[in-house]
Chains A and B, each alone.
Chain A
Amino acid sequence: TQLLEQSPQFLSIQEGENLTVYCNSSSVFSSLQWYRQEPGEGPVLLVTVVTGGEVKKLKRLTFQFGDARKDSSLHITAAQPGDTGLYLCARNTNAGKSTFGDGTTLTVKP
């Protein structure tokens, strides 16, 4: 089983702080997606990373793919209450289905 380990499981911070969450695997990803999910809703795709060492930015979010393509991180600068949610990483198999980690639940307090 190609598990995805996400850490931390829970994170609670004050508005304006920075944070980083991680996604790790023992095997190589062909590609990796990050999603954000709000309670009672489906996951919303944030980004796909494909190339080892790749860095993508989405406003205050910075996504990094490890050189060996076995890990990824998501850094949020100056977090806002609207960033609150469950952050999931997922890998695609050759068949296209996704295997998800169990996510990091982020709470940003005003």
Chain B
Amino acid sequence: DTGVSQDPRHKITKRGQNVTFRCDPISEHNRLYWYRQTLGQGPEFLTYFQNEAQLEKSRLLSDRFSAERPKGSFSTLEIQRTEQGDSAMYLCASSLAPEFSEQYFGPGTRLTVT
């Protein structure tokens, strides 16, 4: 394994549809993070897991967003009833806790909601 992978790389969907993204972290990393990035801005934290436990969710994350990491390995991020404002790059990162953690990012999933 060489890094964090994400699937799909691109997703175009119509408003109101549900979408699900997958992230496979670096295999020995126990922390997994989801971020969202829009054009001209840095990544914005959404949520993170340590092993299978979801430890924090951003207050900016609406209840249409849900993330899981059922076996402490890969993670999925689902967006229900997508809106045009959900169009963004969704980034996954992983790290090895504890201490300050250097995060390694995947290539991202570009979501376009039409």
Please tell me which stretch of B61-69, B72-80, B104-112 contacts chain A, meaning at least 4 of its Cβ atoms lie within 8 angstroms of it: B104-112
A99 to B45, Cβ gap below 8 A? yes
Residues in A with CB closer than 8 Å to B40 are 102
A43 to B43, Cβ gap below 8 A? yes
B42 to A95, Cβ gap below 8 A? no
Q: Mark A68-99, 1 if CB is under 8 A from B, else 0.
A: 00000000000000000000101010011111
Inter-chain CA distance A70–B103, complex, in Å, is 21
What is the minimal beta-carbon distance from B48 to any residue of chain A, in angstroms?
Answer: 6
Residues in A with CB closer than 8 Å to B4 are 42
Q: Quick check: is B26 within 8 A (CB to CB) of the other chain?
A: no
Q: Mark B67-109, 1 if CB is under 8 A from A, else 0.
A: 0000000000000000000000001010101101111111110
- With a 10 A CB-CB cut-off, give which of A33, A42, A88, A92 has the most chain B CB atoms: A42
Inter-chain CA distance A48–B95, complex, in Å, is 14
Q: Quick check: is A11 within 8 A (CB to CB) of the other chain?
A: no
B48 to A95, Cβ gap below 8 A? yes
Known: A42-B4, A42-B106, A44-B105. A100 touches B42 (CB 8 A): yes
Known: A88-B42, A98-B45, A101-B42. A45 touches B104 (CB 8 A): yes
CB-defined A-B contacts under 8 Å, sample of 7? A40-B108, A88-B43, A92-B100, A92-B101, A96-B95, A97-B33, A103-B41
Residues of B in contact with A (beta carbons under 8 Å apart): 4, 6, 31, 33, 35, 40-45, 48, 55-56, 91, 93, 95, 97-98, 100-108, 110
User: Lowest 3 CB-CB distances: which A-B pairs, in order?
Assistant: A100-B42, A42-B105, A31-B100
